[in-house]
Amino acid sequence: MPRPESFAGDLPAGLVTPLRERVEDFIRYLATERGLSEKYQFNTRLYLEELLTWGEQRHALRDPGDVTHALITEWLAARKADGLSAGSIKLLIIAAKIFCRFLQARGFVARDVAESLALPRVDRHLPETLNEDQARQLLEAQPAGDDPYATRNRAILELLYASGLRVSELCTARLENLDLERGFIRVTGKGNKTRIVPVGAKACAALDRWLRVGRPAFVRKRTGADLFLSHKGGGRLTSHRVGVIVREAAKAAGLETALYPHLLRHSFATHLLANGADLRVIQEMLGHADISTTEIYTHVDQTRLKGVHKRFHPRA
């Protein structure tokens, strides 16, 4: 989605309208009261700034009360005419809805003008996954030995696949939240929600080796309690760096799949379902607030079953 033409921070002080001030209040609310991620805050600000810039240029939008259902509908129609996808339109509507709900709750407007906005139907694409042989190939191809980088990278791959963590959850994982003896890790996911996830035996072994052999080589005076460390000053690993580690590991293993961390999360869920795990249990381990998000994996599994049927049934 293109960047709005102007942000509140780019405007002279005299042009910061009451409505733009309410956007700032709202973003602070998302950060402090809702505990939502910086990425979520940034994207929501981006969508609202686009609405404000559009409204200022066409309707002299200035105050919270100037935001009407008709104005939002006109803006969405204009973005759709620009060729914006249904998925992107949905994100704009969600941003408008939660902002208008905030305005009403805080008494800035009398009613929520976005409440009746309908979300567009978005085709759900089946997530990419590795099959079980590919996952085994990836993990077994990782170098053994005591090299600190090798022990770290193997532990990262094993944990991503064994526990289905989001890359942000892996990067923020802390030593005190890992229980290797019982095989669990406590992570903080979307909406600042904490959950406990099982860690498999092979992942526990890889993590134990990293903690005993690899991690001490990365520790510096100011190193914190992050589970995984970068080589630069012993700081926390970034999501970008984890993505590079995963891609390089796939290449070294001879996999042609364009591998990324979230694909290992998809594979974790799909392989659990294929081997008989209950969907509600998978939902809990993935940290999905809504079971409908987890249900996408039932479609992946049906696709796999269809392929097996077609391959082996004599009249398929």
Packing angle, helices 261-274 and 279-286, rounded to 10: 160
* Phi, psi dihedral angles at 180 (to 5 degrees): -70, -30
292 alpha-carbon distance from chain centroid: 16
Residues marked active site are found at 166, 190, 262, 265, 288, 297
Spatial distance between the Cα atoms of 239 and 151, rounded to a whole number of angstroms? 18
Strand order in the sheet with 194-198: 178-179, 184-188, 194-198
Spatial distance between the Cα atoms of 140 and 206, rounded to a whole number of angstroms? 12
DSSP code, position 212: I
Spatial distance between the Cα atoms of 140 and 81, rounded to a whole number of angstroms? 50
| H runs (alpha helix) in the chain | 18-32, 38-59, 69-81, 86-105, 132-140, 148-163, 167-171, 201-209, 239-252, 261-274, 279-286, 291-294, 296-312
Q: With H, G, I as helix, E, B as strand and everything else as coil, classify residue 258.
A: coil
